[in-house]
Amino acid sequence: MEHQLTHRLNGEIALVTGGGTGLGRAIAISLADAGAKVCIAGRRREPLAAVVEAIGEDRCCAVCGDVTKAEDRAAMIAAARDTFANPISILVNNAGINIKKPALEVEDALFQQVMEIHVNAAFALSRDVAPSMLKNRRGSILFLASMASYMGVPQIVSYTAAKCAVVGLTRALAAEWSADGVRVNAVAPGWIESPMTSKALDSDPQRKQKVFSRTPMGSMGKPNDIGRAIVFLCSADAGFITGQVLPVDGGASIGF
């Protein structure tokens, strides 16, 4: 019989940062649809509550907090563990910001703010979640990389530096933890449909044409394209995949 890819995550406990809106919302819903119980974290209560309602309180909980604060990270881990009476087995480091500015106008504090969220906080949360995964010899940690991890993009120098660092984190942690059952991977989204992206492209027709002409599939992706990719990487179907960055970008990163 031909093997069927199920991608089922029954029994898994997932923590998704930045889980109230955009990609984080889609990731949380995709994980829940695949059978996982999901704890979402973010700074604003209203969108978090909407995701909990969409998934169901029996399968989703939310905690309001800032990933850059140690006490809030501890609260996120505790909320997932205590609500579902099991340790976290999937961590998705999705929280982030992107500030567009010419490099000469990027002050030290602004550069560090972007790095703090994407890199420092994501590493700290991964480090704090990992002990229970390593003890149980099973777990999956996901980072969100970007096309900017591979391409030079003007006016997002801090974001680009952060996303390059995320690739390094992915590979370094995979090299250290995979032998003990904890796989570490990343997804690199391309242009994905969202109100923010649509607004940016619709206000600049030339840029929109350039984006589509450089994307072999000729369109933007949908948020659940990222969610499904993450479900795959967390599942047993990806059990021999670690330290990798999966582009989900309609071919935009292949170069042509």
Catalytic residues: 159
Query: 37-42 and 13-17 as β-strands: parallel, antiparallel, unpaired?
Result: parallel
Phi, psi of 171 (to 5 degrees): -70, -40
Alpha-carbon distance of 122 to 128, in angstroms, equals: 10
Q: What is the spatial distance between Cα 55 and Cα 225, in angstroms, rounded to a whole number? A: 18
Q: In what order do the strands lie in the sheet with 139-144?
A: 60-64, 37-42, 13-17, 90-93, 139-144, 182-189, 245-248
DSSP 8-state code for residue 106: -
Q: What would the two tokens of residue 166 be? A: 């995320």
* C-alpha span between 17 and 28 (Å, rounded): 9
- Using CA atoms, how far residue 31 sits from 139, 224, 226, in Å, is 14, 10, 11
Distance CA(117)–CA(127), nearest Å, equals: 15
**Contact between 133 and 176 (Cβ < 8 Å):** no
Residue tagged 């991977």 (tokens): 185
Strand ranges in the chain using DSSP code E only, listed in sequence order: 13-17, 37-42, 60-64, 90-93, 139-144, 182-189, 245-248
